[in-house]
């Protein structure tokens, strides 16, 4: 039996000048998540988090929030 797990989508808004920095950091943790920019002007991005990696992403974002402003937003507010 084949079991496919889906990524978790998380939406964030941050300073547009910090998008590439966040992408660099996320990609440094190989395989835990991917970052896609939805709207570069408003700084809206989506993180697609690999199954089971949610705690790791939470830890990374917690530490990054000390350096850059990252605001979690609901998909409905897009």
Tokens of residue 50, six digits: 């690999």
What is the arrangement of strands in the sheet containing 33-39, beginning at the earlier edge strand?
Answer: 33-39, 44-49, 8-14, 70-73
pLDDT tens per residue across all 78 residues of the chain: 555 678 999 999 999 999 999 999 999 998 899 999 999 999 999 999 999 999 999 999 999 999 999 999 987 655
Helix 54-64, helix 19-28: angle, nearest 10: 140
pLDDT of residue 73: 95
């Amino acid at each position: 039996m084949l079991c496919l797990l889906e990524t978790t989508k998380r939406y964030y808004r941050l300073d547009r000048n910090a998008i590439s920095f966040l992408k660099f950091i996320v990609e440094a943790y190989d395989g835990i998540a991917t970052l896609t920019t939805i709207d570069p002007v408003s700084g809206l991005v989506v993180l697609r988090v690999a199954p089971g990696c949610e705690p790791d992403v939470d830890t990374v974002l917690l530490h990054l929030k000390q350096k850059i402003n990252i605001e979690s937003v609901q998909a409905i507010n897009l």
